[in-house]
Amino acid sequence: AQSVAQPEDQVNVAEGNPLTVKCTYSVSGNPYLFWYVQYPNRGLQFLLKYITGDNLVKGSYGFEAEFNKSQTSFHLKKPSALVSDSALYFCAVRPSLNNNAGNMLTFGGGTRLMVKP
Amino acid sequence: DAMVIQNPRYQVTQFGKPVTLSCSQTLNHNVMYWYQQKSSQAPKLLFHYYDKDFNNEADTPDNFQSRRPNTSFCFLDIRSPGLGDAAMYLCATSREMTSGRKDTQYFGPGTRLTVL
Please state, in angstroms and rounded to a whole number, the distance separating the CA atoms of residues A21 and A72.
14
Q: What is the pLDDT of residue A19?
A: 97
What's the pLDDT score for residue B58? 84
Pick left, alpha or beta for residue B18 (phi over 0 → left; psi -120 to 50 → alpha; otherwise beta).
beta
Tell me the pLDDT of chain A (117 aa) as tens digits: 789 999 999 999 999 999 999 999 998 888 899 999 999 888 999 999 998 889 999 999 999 999 999 999 999 999 999 999 999 999 999 877 655 444 578 999 999 999 999
Instruction: Report, as an integer, the average pLDDT of B74-78.
Output: 97
* Amino acid letter, residue A86: S
Amino acid in the structure at residue A51: I
pLDDT band at B12, cuts 50/70/90?
very high
CB B92 within 8 A of CB B32: yes
Q: Which residues of B touch A27 (CB under 8 A)?
A: none
How high is the pLDDT of residue A30? 83
Chain A within 8 Å of B52 (Cβ-Cβ)? no
Q: Write out A63-117 in H/E/C secondary structure.
A: CEEEEECCCCEEEEEECCCCHHHCEEEEEEEEECCCCCCCCCCEECCCEEEEEEC
The pLDDT value given to residue B1: 62
Q: What is the pLDDT of residue A102?
A: 46
What pLDDT shows up at residue A104? Answer: 79
Give me the percent of chain B exceeding a pLDDT of 90.
Answer: 80
Cα–Cα distance for residue pair A16/A84, rounded to 1 Å: 12
List all residues of chain A from 74 to 103 with a beta carbon under 8 Å from chain B.
Answer: 88, 90, 94, 96, 98, 100-103
The mean per-residue pLDDT over the stretch B106-116 comes to: 95
Name the residue among B101, B19, B9 with its Cα closest to residue A103: B101
Q: Does B6 touch chain A (CB under 8 A)?
A: yes
Res. B99 pLDDT band, cuts 50 70 90: low
Q: Which residues does chain A have within 8 Å of residue B109's beta carbon, measured at their own beta carbons?
A: 42-43
The rounded distance, in Å, linking the Cα atoms of A114 and B108 is 24
Q: Which residues contact B95 (CB under 8 A, 6 or more apart)?
A: B27, B28, B29, B30, B31, B103
